[in-house]
Amino acid sequence: MNITFLGAAETVTGSNFLVEAAGKKFLVDCGMYQGKATEELRNEEDFLYNPADIDFMLLTHAHIDHSGRIPKLYNDGFKGKIYCTHATKDLCEIMLPDSGHIQESEIEWRNKKRIRAGEDPLPPMYTAEDAINSMELFYSVGYDEIVDVAENIQVRFNDAGHMLRI
């Protein structure tokens, strides 16, 4: 097994881990960086892996620093299942489109300044519609349920006391 720490290392946001095991490549979380402007700019960077090469994803919980780049991952070619709890899926159905709306509003403001400076406008990292579309990949399971996500790989979501449990 090989684990590559791609986020939430030397910072507490941007959770993103690439795991290679049993012939599969999968992610644990795909979150946004939050805080200082320099950290938030990292959200727009390319992933350090090809999203189309990722077999599936495990989403630990809905907080945006764990889920916020999923629509970007989807737009960049990821089409595997996203395993999460029922509550996490329900919350992401609200939070990710809202985040997309925020992306659209913020880039509109930035583009006004860019256009005044003679620069080309930029697209948003993702839109509310992109976020809604990415929800087709979510596959929710119950707490304590053992799920075969791939041959020789099982997962069970346990209550860590950090998120809503239904």
Domains and CATH numbers, the chain: 2-156 (3.60.15.10)
Element (H, E) at 140: strand 138-141
What global pTM score does this model have?
0.92
CA angle 80, 74, 109 (to 5 degrees): 165
Q: What percent of the chain is predicted at pLDDT more than 90?
A: 86
Tell me the pLDDT band of 37, cut-offs 50, 70 and 90: confident
Residue type at 90?
D
Asked if residue 9 has pLDDT above 90, the reply is: no
* Across 32-39, average pLDDT: 88
